[in-house]
Amino acid sequence: MRRTNPLGVRDQAAWLRTRYPGFTCTVENGLLTARGQLQPSPIAAVYDVVVEYRVGKWPKVFVPCNQLQPLEAGGKIPHTFGPTEPCLFYPSDESWRSDMRLADIILPKLSLWLEFYEMWRATGEWYGGGIPHGSVGGRIEEPVRNEPSL
């Protein structure tokens, strides 16, 4: 079994501020909240994003304030947990570990996800791969998540 030395939330915040100097990071009660902007490519939109992280938990990422839109009213956005929370990877033991850096793993994956989102908006096709979300007995089940405020 692999043993890891987890990075604390203050270490994660330091790495985020180093790699993404425009981001603001706050730590309160063991929860790191990082806010900033990502532009997945030079011709892409600029997105306000929020990352929340607590050591020992999976990071949560949000693209709040109706920045993400389905193709049609009432439609779903692929590979999301609801309308503001992109799904960045399949939950497995090695997809995220507490010794990984948010700045090196999560934000680049979010930027790539946003690029796939823009392609989907333009073409109607999801080119990001992955597996279908939440199909349970023919129904789509999406977890309810609380969107952080900007």
pLDDT of residue 82: 86
pLDDT of residue 142: 41
CA distance 130 to 140: 16
Report the share of the chain in percent with pLDDT over 70. Answer: 83
CA distance 25 to 51: 9
CA angle (79 as vertex; 73, 83 as ends), nearest 5: 45
pLDDT of residue 89: 81
Question: CATH topology for 9-124?
Answer: Ubiquitin Conjugating Enzyme (3.10.110)
Q: What is the DSSP string of 39-89?
A: -SSTTSPPEEEEEEE-TTS--EEE--TT-S--SSTT---SSBSSSS-B--S
pLDDT of residue 58: 92
Please indicate whether residue 130 or residue 45 has the higher confidence score (pLDDT).
45
What is the overall mean pLDDT for the chain?
Answer: 87
pLDDT of residue 140: 37
Q: Is a pLDDT exceeding 50 seen at residue 146?
A: no
CA 115, distance to chain mean position in Å, is 13
Residues 87-113: what's their mean pLDDT?
Answer: 89
Q: How many CA atoms lie within 13 A of 69 on its CB side?
A: 8
Q: Is a pLDDT exceeding 70 seen at residue 13?
A: yes
pLDDT of residue 133: 66
Residues 97-107: what's their mean pLDDT?
Answer: 95
